[in-house]
Structure 1
Amino acid sequence: MISKFIYTKILGWKLVGEFPKELKKYIVIGAPHTSWKDFPIAILARNSWGVKINFIGKKSLFKPPFGFIFRWLGGAPVDRSKSNNKVDAIVDVFNKHDEFRLALSPEGTRKKVDKWKTGFYYIAKGANVPIIMFAFDFEHKQIILSEPFYPTDNMESDFEHFYSFYKDIKGANPELF
């Protein structure tokens, strides 16, 4: 597989952990998201594992002439005209598919943030799916995956669990995390 060859042999990165093969639906949160390099590294890692991971985008991105590219990469359109609530719109996408794995950045940006956005958490709760943490460890040139985590009714405790997983991870620009 060419992606794995590029990822491991040319770039020298490692894959740590496995995506759960038995789960057809979950959310993947990728952090720290501090560089444009995160996306191509994530695509190579995803392809190396051989698991289809989706992303969402506004409906207009999926129209001709380039819409097929976004679908080919695993994109799914979200029609926000039907709802002002993006979380509900994405939960609807989960409900319409037998298999859907969604990657999101909990920071919502590559800039330094004081706290993460909560949309991924509410999507997981609304769609009744687990969250898998995906760490961009540039210091050790590895992507680290967590076990599936099912959100509880204690958001504060759950976020402490997430932050704990990422506490020693150094992104491409560690000062931004």
Structure 2
Amino acid sequence: MAVGDDAPGPLARFVRAAMLWFYRRQGWTAAGEVPEPRRFLIIAAPHTSNWDFLYYLGLTADLGIRPHFMGKLSLFRWPIGGFMRQMGGIPVDRSGGKNYVDAMVAEFARRDAFMLTVAPEGTRARTRKWRTGFYHIAMAAKVPMVVGLMDYGRKTGGLGPAIWPTGDFRADMEKLFAIYRDCTPKYPDRAVRSLADIIGEGSEGAAA
């Protein structure tokens, strides 16, 4: 268990077991291996449906990992705060202009193992450009990025190879897009279809 983690309680263990059962019941299987060391940022894309999260919980249980995710501070108050932490949630305080990138970099620094899941699209609807906070976190924390794959066409999920950020956002996104471009999302019309959909048309680099 990583430094600072809350041990999963009975409810958290039940939820993960239930999601694994449901995931397998729907005919999904895990593919690939978990990169080592287990300190990396998982890119959850394309994100086109609420089903993505449910199947992702089943996938991570199938892979035997417990990745983390960010959530607004209000979700970590009583009575569900403990459960959220046990499921891998990390509270983020955005009040007063506080920077979530710095907060996540600090989490990487204080933990022995940390697999942070970020959905750069930020919405299930189609977007014209990814939010780039995930890239700034990976750069500052000096950790690789791993593509989280949920392929509805093949009903397989997994983690792609580790890609280290170089500071050249466009070049790094080309590598990521090449990995999951053949992955079929729940709603293909909402997913990115080109590199331009990730970096933004006419973008020259990562934006804050």
Q: TM-score, normalised by structure 1?
A: 0.91
Structure 1 contact 3–48 (Cα < 8 Å) conserved: no
Shift of 1:168: 1.6
Structure 1 contact 33–136 (Cα < 8 Å) conserved: no
Residue 98 of structure 1 corresponds to 112
Unaligned runs of 5+ in 2: 1-16, 192-208
- d(CA) in 2 for partners of 1:49, 1:144: 8
Residue 72 of structure 1 corresponds to 86
| Amino acid of the structure 2 residue aligned with 1:104 | V
Name the % identity: 38
Residue 13 of structure 1 corresponds to 28
Q: What SS is found at the alignment partner of 1:136? A: strand
Q: Aligned pairs, how many?
A: 175
Shift of 1:6: 3.4
- d(CA) in 2 for partners of 1:168, 1:49: 22
Unaligned runs of 5+ in 1: none
- d(CA) in 2 for partners of 1:17, 1:111: 28
CA separation of 1:95 and 1:81: change in aligned 2, threshold 3 A? farther
- Structure of higher RCO (CA pairs closer than 8 Å, 6+ residues apart): 1
Shift of 1:43: 0.3
Residue 56 of structure 1 corresponds to 70
Q: 1:86-165 maps to which residues of 2 (within 5 A)? A: 86-165=100-179
Deviations 1:57-102 (A, max 9, x none): 1222111111011111111112334753221122122222222111
Q: TM-score, normalised by structure 2?
A: 0.78
Residue 36 of structure 1 corresponds to 50
CA separation of 1:66 and 1:4: change in aligned 2, threshold 3 A? closer
